[in-house]
Amino acid sequence: MEFTAETIAGFLKGEIEGNPDIKVNTISKIEEGQSGALSFLANPKYEHYLYETKSSIVLVNKSFVPSAMVSATLIRVENAYEAFATLLRMVDQSRPRKKGIHATAIIETSAKIGSDVFIGPYAYIGENCIIGDGCSIYPHVYIGDKTIIGNNCILNPGVKIYHECLVGEGCIIHAGTVIGSDGFGFAPQSDSEFMKIPQLGNVVLEDHVEIGANVTIDRATMGSTIIRRGVKLDNLIQIGHNVEVGENSVMAAQTGIAGSTKVGRNCMFGGQVGLSGHIKIANGTKIGAQGGILGDVKEENTVIIGSPAIDLKKFLRSSVIFKKLPEMKVKIDSLEKEIESLKKK
């Protein structure tokens, strides 16, 4: 598919600087741009690529002022990154979608399958399941008994959803993710062994949740583990039993949340963040990579980092001291020797 700068600018409500008739048929990074490609510039540290890129069209912010001549046609928009994402979404949605039910798929007779559904090879759909309209269920997906999948969901290859879980509309679950496996519940016995506690609850994903590859979300002991509307989880994340993650929160890879913790709305977690169990995280909390949270975060919209995590400004001041600790140790040893010498005199 080819699009002119004029067509793209009209779609994005942007302003053209250059040739409105120039055409693009692909997208690329600005540093790898070729003739016929569309790129974007949002981060100032990539600005130098703008003056050497071979991309035909580049999206830039309206406020951007170039410091040299630009050969590409520019389209000025309010937010170049957001505009580029909008175009990517349009391209993705224009791709042909698989349809139909493969002959090797196993669907129990009591399951209800909506219209315009794709079910790939060797997928299994259990008893009394409900699959909504427009869903795509790729090969080797397992959906346990009495699970409900909302309209227009995408379950990528190898996704496993245990029994009685609920998935809302417009959810995307990537390959290898397991939803509804048993929570980590074991009661210590007098003979130093552990008795398994049955996990009788489920997992609820609300609408427009996206979950990365190889994520595990444990079912609740009782009640539900809940991932609220609009949550986005990266790959390799562990969510423990009875956890609740608030609306529109996002988490980077290898985050781990222990059981019964409640995460508020609009939170942002960096990679490898760890939360202990039975704590509450206030709305809008931002936690830097490898942050370790041992207790409640009560104040909304705070930014914390470190393990155990502390306020970002305190952490930055502390990090300056960390670097000086070896020199400080030498000075302290010297002062101790002087004090001992003075005592002897």
Are 141 and 217 in the same domain? yes
List 48, 140, 208, 241, catalytic entry? 241
CATH number at residue 249: 2.160.10.10
**Secondary structure (3-state) at 339:** helix
Range of the domain at 262: 100-311
As to burial, measured by CB atoms within 10 angstroms (0-12 exposed, 13-18 middle, 19+ buried), residue 189 is exposed
Are 169 and 241 in the same domain? yes
The answer to whether position 339 is within a domain reads: no
| DSSP codes joined into one string, 315-336 | HHHHHHHHHHHHHHHHHHHHHH
**Residue that finishes a domain, picked among 94, 119, 147:** 94
Are 79 and 192 in the same domain? no
pLDDT at position 326, please?
87
The answer to whether position 333 is within a domain reads: no
Are 203 and 290 in the same domain? yes
Rounded-to-integer distance, Cα 155 and Cα 136, Å: 6
Are 116 and 59 in the same domain? no
Are 283 and 197 in the same domain? yes
Residues 6+ apart with CB under 8 A from 159: 138, 141, 142, 173, 174, 175, 176, 177, 178, 179
The answer to whether position 319 is within a domain reads: no
Are 46 and 192 in the same domain? no
The answer to whether position 207 is within a domain reads: yes
Residues 6+ apart with CB under 8 A from 169: 132, 150, 151, 152, 153, 207, 208
Are 278 and 168 in the same domain? yes
Peptide bond into 308 cis (omega under 30): yes
Query: Does pTM surpass 0.75?
Result: yes
Are 20 and 79 in the same domain? yes
CATH number at residue 33: 3.40.1390.10
Of 251, 177, 182, which is closest to residue 214 (Cα–Cα)? 177
How many domains in the chain? 2
**Secondary structure (3-state) at 255:** coil
Contact 219, 162 (CB under 8 A): yes
241 as an active site residue: the answer is yes
- SS3 string, 135-162, reads CEECCCCEECCCCEECCCCEECCCCEEC
Residues 6+ apart with CB under 8 A from 70: 50, 51, 58
**10-residue mean pLDDT series, the chain (345 residues):** 92 96 94 96 95 96 95 96 92 86 98 98 98 98 98 98 98 98 92 92 98 98 97 98 98 98 98 97 97 95 90 83 85 89 83
pLDDT at position 310, please?
80
Rounded-to-integer distance, Cα 242 and Cα 303, Å: 25
Are 108 and 197 in the same domain? yes
Residues 6+ apart with CB under 8 A from 303: 285, 286, 288, 311, 312
Are 124 and 52 in the same domain? no
Of 216, 222, 207, 263, which is closest to residue 235 (Cα–Cα)? 216
Are 106 and 43 in the same domain? no
Contact 292, 315 (CB under 8 A): no
